[in-house]
């Protein structure tokens, strides 16, 4: 879903789409953010939202590449659950190549 959103909004890096999903995604992100350590959150956001290579993110955050993938997976899994609770339609939409 994040990759399918065409125009980026500066305050969040999340783009809006014709269905108005950006606000819903922003809300889900706000709800799950406190559940994760900063480096876990950054690893996910930098790879899933910003599209950075996991190896580059790992180097910047002083993590292993494997840890970046695990962090991304954990955050996206939790986000999937939150989005499905807010809007059942999100159960069928992938988030940047990761099935939700």
Higher pLDDT, 64 or 27: 64
C-alpha torsion sign, points 42, 48, 53, 58? positive
Q: What is the pLDDT of residues 11-21, one digit of tens each?
A: 445 555 555 67
List of domains in the chain: 2-92 (1.10.10.10)
Is the pTM above the cut of 0.95? no
The reported pLDDT for the residue numbered 23 is 83
Mean pLDDT, all residues of the chain: 79
Phi then psi for residue 96, to 5 deg, are 50, 50
The reported pLDDT for the residue numbered 4 is 35
């Amino acid at each position: 879903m994040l990759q399918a959103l065409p125009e980026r909004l500066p305050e969040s890096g999340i783009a809006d789409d014709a269905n108005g999903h950006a606000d819903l995604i922003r809300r889900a992100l706000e709800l799950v953010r406190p559940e994760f350590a900063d480096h876990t959150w950054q690893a996910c956001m930098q790879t899933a939202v910003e599209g950075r290579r996991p190896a580059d993110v790992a180097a910047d955050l002083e993590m292993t590449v494997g840890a970046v993938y695990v962090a991304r997976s954990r955050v996206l899994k939790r986000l999937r659950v939150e989005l499905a609770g807010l809007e059942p339609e999100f159960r069928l939409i992938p988030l940047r190549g990761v099935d939700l």
